[in-house]
Every structure is written in C-alpha cells, then in structure tokens.
C-alpha cells in the first residue's frame, strides 16, 4: 500500500500536469486581439472599385396569395455612378433601365419612361441594388438604415428603409456577396411576399463583343 506521503505526492504531480496542460498555455500565449468589425465604409469602398459589370440572374418569388413560387431569369448590368439595367428573358421579355432618376420600362414594342422618385416603393429596391453594386455609400445611407455583417470574403448588408411609409411596403432588402461581387439579393415585402435573386457574374471574356462603330 502506498504511504499517505506517496499518495499526496502523486496528487500534487497530477495537479501540476493539469495546470501545465490546461492553465499554463493561456499564460504562455499572448491574448488575441478581437477582430475589428467589417464596416459599411469598408464594404462600399471595396464595391466601388468595380466600375461596371454584367451578370445573369435567377429570381424566385414567393407570393402570399399563390401556392407556388414564381421564377424568372435574365441579365443584369451596371456602370458607375448611376446606371443599372435589368433585362428579364423568361418567362417573358421585359427590360428596366435606370440612369440617374430616369427609369425606362420596355415590354415588347411598348416603352414607358418615368421618374424614379415618382414610384418610391420601386425606388427603394432599385436604390438598394444599384447603391450596393456601385458602392455608393451616400445613397445607401440617405435611404436606409444599413447593417453590415461578416467579413470581406463573405459579407451581408441588411438595408431597412428609413421612411416609415415605405417600410409599410418594403420591410427590408438583404444583399450578400464576396469581396466586390454581389451574389444574392433578398427583398422582403411588408405583406409577406419575398423574392430571392441569385446572381452569377459574367466573366469579361464571355461577354459578347461590341459591334464595330
């Protein structure tokens, strides 16, 4: 039988081993600095470096009064500082082009031009997408309460309209992406309808060549 002294020494050795393995490393290693949060300023600066772009999109809409999801596909393009074009190819062809405060809607042979601020509920969504694509921080902060999460390699931007009346129509717009590329736009309407647009950038080499002038 081990003596009380030996048992005490064994217990002390065990405590030293536990202390060495568990406690000591927290003393030996310097405290890690907490990562700085990724900010709206950093995100818009990153996005603003991309002056123009083209992409394809697939949008799925959930409408409260329907028991199925509506799907559309098409193309997107933008150019800083204020040009945004959405061209739907399926299920039917239509085009929305925004330059500054001017919106041109085309469907078949019919074309209509209106001022963007004349349709404020649509303007909210356009400004959210266009402002994010072009990295226009002033426009985003003028229209929305903006909250950024994540990091540069994988970020999300939650936009809530500042105008109380508009919040009664568009609850929020969530934009997500990687680095300077927008990959998804989710629009939540106040009545429960929701759309999710998945965006796939088109590489420059894959774009059709411009016709010679």
State how far the Cα of 61 lies from the Cα of 143, in Å rounded to an integer: 24
Select the more confidently predicted residue: 177 or 22: 177
State how far the Cα of 20 lies from the Cα of 23, in Å rounded to an integer: 6
**CB atoms near residue 159 (< 10 Å):** 24
pLDDT at 23 over 90: no
The CATH class that applies to domain 40-203 reads mainly beta
Span 135-161, pLDDT tens digits: 999 999 999 999 999 999 999 999 999
Q: Do 152 and 159 form a contact (C-beta atoms < 8 A)? A: no
pLDDT at 83 over 80: yes
Confidence class for position 1, pLDDT limits 50, 70, 90: low
Integer angstrom CA distances of residue 1 from 6, 7, 14, 15, 124: 10, 10, 19, 22, 82
Q: Do 199 and 183 form a contact (C-beta atoms < 8 A)? A: yes
The reported pTM is 0.76
- When the pLDDT of each residue in the chain is averaged and rounded to a whole number, the result is 82
Span 48-68, pLDDT tens digits: 999 999 999 999 999 877 778
Long-range CB contacts (< 8 A, 24+ apart) of 138-143? 140/40, 140/44, 141/40
Q: Do 107 and 94 form a contact (C-beta atoms < 8 A)? A: yes
Element (H, E) at 181: strand 181-189
Helix segments in the chain, DSSP class H: 4-18, 24-28, 40-48, 120-133, 137-143, 164-167
């Amino acid at each position: 039988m081990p003596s009380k002294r030996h048992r005490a020494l064994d217990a002390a050795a065990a405590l030293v081993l536990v202390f060495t393995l568990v406690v000591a490393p927290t003393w030996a290693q310097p405290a890690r600095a907490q990562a700085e949060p990724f900010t709206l300023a950093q995100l818009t600066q990153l996005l603003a470096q991309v002056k123009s772009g083209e992409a394809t999109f697939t949008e799925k809409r959930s409408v409260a009064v329907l028991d199925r999801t509506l799907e559309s596909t098409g193309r997107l393009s933008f150019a800083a500082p204020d040009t945004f074009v959405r061209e739907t190819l399926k299920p039917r062809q239509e085009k929305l082009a925004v330059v500054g405060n001017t919106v041109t809607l085309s469907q078949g042979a019919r074309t209509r031009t209106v001022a963007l601020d004349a349709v404020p509920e649509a303007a909210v969504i356009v400004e959210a997408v266009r402002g994010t694509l072009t990295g226009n921080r002033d426009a985003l902060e003028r229209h929305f309460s903006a909250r950024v999460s994540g990091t540069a390699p994988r970020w999300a931007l939650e936009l809530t309209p500042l105008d109380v009346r508009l919040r009664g129509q568009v609850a929020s717009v969530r934009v997500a992406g990687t680095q300077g590329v927008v990959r998804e736009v989710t629009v939540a309407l106040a009545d429960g309808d929701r759309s999710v647009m998945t965006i796939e950038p088109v590489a420059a080499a894959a774009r059709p060549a411009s016709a010679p002038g």
